[in-house]
Amino acid sequence: MSRVQLAINVTDVDAAVDFYERLFATPAAKRRPGYANFEIADPPMKLVLIEGDEGGTLNPLGVETTSAADVVAAEARLSDEGLETTGVDDTVCCYAEKTETWVTDPDGAKWEWYVKLGDADAMSLTVLTDGEGGACCAPTSEVAAPVTAPGAGPTCC
CATH code where residue 19 lies: 3.10.180.10
In a domain, 53, yes or no: yes
Distance, in Å, from the CA atom of 84 to the CA atom of 106, rounded to the nearest integer, reads 11
In a domain, 152, yes or no: no
70: pLDDT strictly greater than 50: yes
**What's the domain range around 133?**
3-147
Q: Which helix (H) or strand (E) holds 117?
A: strand 110-119
In the structure, how many helices (H) and strands (E) does the chain have? 2, 12
Report pLDDT for 6.
94
Query: What pLDDT digit, counting tens, does each position of 83-106 carry?
Result: 999 999 998 888 889 999 999 988
In a domain, 22, yes or no: yes
| Cβ atoms within 10 Å of 15's Cβ, excluding its own | 13
- What is the value of pTM for the model shown? 0.72
- The tally of domains found in the chain comes to 1
Residues 28, 13: contact at Cβ < 8 Å? no
Report pLDDT for 134.
38
